[in-house]
Amino acid sequence: MYAVYSLCLANLRKKKIQNGLIGLLILLSTLLLSTSVTVIMNTSNLFTDMHNKTHGSHELLTLGNEIHDPQMVHQWWNKQEGVTSSKLIPFRVLVGINNQGKEQDEALSSLQLYMMDTPSRPYAVDELIFAQGNESLTPEKGTIWLPTSIAYLYEISVGDTLGFKTGESNFELKVSAIIVDVPYGAPFPTEARIWMNHQDYNEQIQSLAGKDQYMMGLRFDDYSQSTSYWEKFEQDIGTPYLGSRMSFGEISAFYLVMNKAIGFIMIFLGIVMMLVALFTIGFTISDDILSNYKTIGVIKALGLSSRRMIGIYLTQYALIAILSIIPGLIASQWISSVIVESALSSLKTGVTESSLGGNLITLAVGIFVLMLVVISVLVYSNKTRLVQPMQAIRYGMSESDNSTMTKRLTTKENNIMSFERAPLLVVIGLRNVLKNRKATLLMTLLSTIMSAVLVLGFVLIYSISNIKQTLPLWGYDSSDIYLRVVNVPAFSYEEISKKLVSDPRVKNIGWAGYVFGVVSPDKNLSSEHANTQPVNFQINILDGRFDEIGFTTLKGENPQSKNEIAIGISVAKKLKKEVGDVVEVYIEGNKHTLTVTGIYQAVANQSISARVTADVLKVNHPDYNDYNLAYINLVDHRDTDLIVNELNVKYKDSLSAQSVQTATDATFKQAVASLILPMSIMGLLFTGVTCIIVYSTSRINIRKESKIYGIYKSIGLTSTKIRLSITLGIVALSSLGAVIGIFVGVYLLPMILGSILLDYGIAELPLILNWGGIIAFACVTIIAAGLGSWASSRLVATTSPHILVIE
């Protein structure tokens, strides 16, 4: 045992740099793998914990437009056992906030606001958690409670005064508290609930023309039984439910989608990096056995058994692994916390720091990594059993390897590829690459992975930063201006439509609105796919052509007549419908038989939505013009800001105009911020690992070829030329890996990521391929490999030819 211990210490002392680099590689592998697992696990856990803490609703109902009696619906659900119902909360819709005393933010001024008549706390469902400000039963007069999703994103603090537009007049309220509002507090907010004092609501909001709408939340003791409750509800009221119904999946989607995608990428690449680490360890052990074949033979001849020889390597690398895994696990906790909190910042209360759970899982990851290292060491060090002392002492290798090498030297090679006329530096560089096949495979694989990671990160961030170009593929339009109705009584559809149509700068315009429809089970359907559960979804209405506004489909085309409908991929999946099939939809109490003309994807509502033309509504309501939004395309995009300003001045009492670029920047800037940190971490890790492995591998190869390089120097070849030739060979190798990595990062990894986003309504990930940037980031791989190779070749420059030849 003492001999094993002594030899283990000797290996650790003799190869400090090599052991240190392997230790760092294990540390980084552990860091990435542990971080990915922690991010995936805690993303769901933190949301679930907050949802449970607030007694969050599983379904949120919006009642209005006289489709159902809100009081009747509330009474029915309030009587059900196994269901907890919230109070019926009145609200009105406004658009835009102006933070007084600060420069006006166009994105903030375009938010859709649900002005809530706040009932007294506590709430049985969807309790509000106070993040800043003094906790109270209701907001004091002249104050509001603002959700964290808006406050954190737009840097609004307690004490700030906010201005609101009603169309007819403006009013101001002071922020007295910032609260976590789970149903409307997700990242990428386009709408929010503003909690008002009852007296302020009566004075400022209820006095406006129009009627109140109502919200109520439902929390089920067993959410899986919700279908049976809804079937009973619809039987009792005699009609399908035609109001808005936000499910738990829709509530949680934007909380989870970004970190789920990031975590998936990290765990996938973490596994790949771990495999690279294990391959590196195996390569190092194999090379060490071959380099010290004669020494191992002598030691075995002196009586040390093969089992104890294996024990030397096992002890050495187990110790390195333990010393590397521990700091990797500790660092992963901090990085995981930063990543999770950056995407779930709207759930931070500021009272107590959120701590990540799953320490046991993290420990299990560390043990798993250690086991993989041990198994890898056992597999590769088992080659010492094949070392025969007599052959090792005589040949310095096995007799069969010696025979093979002798034949190779004595046989005249007639290869197709000849280096006789190639430049000397190219010959030396390629010889170094082609002779060391395992090292070549390792560096090619590493260059491919690093290039793929860098390219994927760039493509994702660039695509989201320039999402205006791919908005239709995300389920949005591609118009230039949004025109939103903020004061219905002051709004004149005919007057404004006539004005916009006659404007020569306007190319086309489409007026839009939405209703909620439902497809109920039809017992008379003979189809084998007859639906057994009602599907409630938002139906987008357009007075105009969807294609002109920029809406697109994955299959088929957009609807054009009163008998047609396009549906989201999630609706198509639930209904088991394809293009050409017929669906029976209830819209505002009326039954419509429509043909599916297209299927589209949309990140909004998880593709649980549909599109119809206004002609469908005009079948039962010939004068229908209940629109709340207009999409405007211009002849010249450069006129956008000018026309937006003109519309806001001329129709300030009824409309709010905004450029689409401003709206998309506001919605997706959080997504870019959430992506930059993890993708930067992964990019830096893989860049560092590439340098480390190339440095370590090249150093091993140079030591093996020390005699050859000594001869080169002794016959007059300078150290710089030798180092340059070695570096050129590695650069050529990494260039091959970078080319393969571009393909993986642009096509393969997004395809895998798209499978994760399918549950969120995206079947095909819309990407923008900027090939200049892609090639530039792929070249970082080549530069990193070249720097690692050049640094390792310093060994040639610092050693004299005489010593190299002797070695």
Q: What digits encode the pLDDT tens for the residues 501-516?
A: 888 898 989 999 888 8
Q: Which of 660, 721, 734 is nearest to 694 (CA)?
A: 734
CA quadruple 732, 737, 738, 739: dihedral positive or negative?
Answer: positive
Whole-number Cα distances in Å, 293 to 6, 12, 289, 311, 435 = 19, 18, 6, 17, 19
Q: Can you read off the two tokens belonging to residue 329?
A: 């696990």
Q: Which of 312, 311, 257 is nearest to 765 (CA)?
A: 257
| Amino acid occupying residue 564 | E
Whole-number Cα distances in Å, 235 to 231, 520, 521, 536 = 6, 12, 12, 16
Q: Which residues pair with 247 in a beta bridge?
A: 59
Residue labelled with tokens 């211009």: 634
Lowest mean pLDDT segment, chosen from 407-421, 541-555, 573-587, 783-797? 407-421
Cα 268 from Cα 265, distance rounded (Å): 5
* Contacting residues for 743 by C-beta, under 8 A, at least 6 apart: none
Name the pairing type of β-strands 535-543 and 506-519.
antiparallel
Q: Does the N-terminal peptide bond of residue 801 adopt cis geometry, omega within 30 degrees of 0?
A: no
Q: Which residues pair with 651 in a beta bridge?
A: none
Residue 178 is predicted with a pLDDT of 92
Q: Can you read off the two tokens belonging to residue 743?
A: 């393909």
Residue 553 is predicted with a pLDDT of 93
Cα 587 from Cα 539, distance rounded (Å): 9
pLDDT value at 532 more than 70: no
Q: Which of 109, 108, 179 is nearest to 143 (CA)?
A: 179
Q: Bigger pLDDT: 67 or 614?
A: 614
| Degrees to nearest 5, angle at CA 128 with 668 and 54 | 95
pLDDT value at 407 more than 60: no
Cα 246 from Cα 244, distance rounded (Å): 7
pLDDT value at 345 more than 90: no
Residue 566 is predicted with a pLDDT of 94
**DSSP-assigned letter for residue 413:** P
Q: Helix or strand or coil: residue 497?
A: helix
Q: Which residues pair with 51 in a beta bridge?
A: none
pLDDT value at 157 more than 50: yes
Measured in residues, the chain has a length of 807
Average per-residue pLDDT for the chain: 79
| Degrees to nearest 5, angle at CA 454 with 450 and 460 | 145
Please answer whether residues 160 and 175 qualify as being in contact, where contact means their C-beta atoms are separated by less than 8 angstroms: yes
pLDDT value at 123 more than 60: yes
Whole-number Cα distances in Å, 641 to 296, 482, 644, 648 = 78, 12, 5, 11
pLDDT value at 409 more than 50: no
Could you tell me what percent of the chain has a pLDDT over 90?
A: 13
Confidence band of 175 (pLDDT split at 50, 70, 90):
very high
Confidence band of 4 (pLDDT split at 50, 70, 90):
low
Residue 166 is predicted with a pLDDT of 75
Cα 801 from Cα 220, distance rounded (Å): 80
pLDDT value at 401 more than 60: no
Q: Can you read off the two tokens belonging to residue 457?
A: 């990160």
* Contacting residues for 400 by C-beta, under 8 A, at least 6 apart: none
Confidence band of 526 (pLDDT split at 50, 70, 90):
very low
Q: Which of 630, 616, 472 is nearest to 557 (CA)?
A: 472
Q: Which residues pair with 518 in a beta bridge?
A: 536, 586
Distance of CA 783 to the CA centre of its chain: 28
Residue 775 is predicted with a pLDDT of 92
Burial of 208 (0-12, 13-18, 19+ CB in 10 A): middle
Whole-number Cα distances in Å, 27 to 31, 219, 315, 325, 781 = 6, 45, 18, 5, 21
Residue 691: how many CB atoms within 10 A of its CB? Answer: 21
Please answer whether residues 130 and 621 qualify as being in contact, where contact means their C-beta atoms are separated by less than 8 angstroms: no
CA quadruple 769, 774, 775, 778: dihedral positive or negative?
Answer: negative
Residue 660 is predicted with a pLDDT of 80
Q: Bigger pLDDT: 359 or 170?
A: 170
Q: Which residues pair with 85 in a beta bridge?
A: 218
Q: Domain coordinates of the chain in residue numbers? A: 1-57+243-411, 65-73+85-230, 412-470+669-807, 471-667
Confidence band of 525 (pLDDT split at 50, 70, 90):
very low
Could you tell me what percent of the chain has a pLDDT over 70?
A: 81
Confidence band of 803 (pLDDT split at 50, 70, 90):
low
Cα 668 from Cα 466, distance rounded (Å): 10
* Contacting residues for 235 by C-beta, under 8 A, at least 6 apart: none
Q: Helix or strand or coil: residue 278?
A: helix
Residue 215 is predicted with a pLDDT of 92
In the chain, what is the greatest distance between 2 CA atoms, to the nearest angstrom? Answer: 103
Cα 141 from Cα 273, distance rounded (Å): 58
pLDDT value at 365 more than 70: yes
Average pLDDT over residues 770-798: 85
List phi, psi (to 5°) of 452: -65, -40
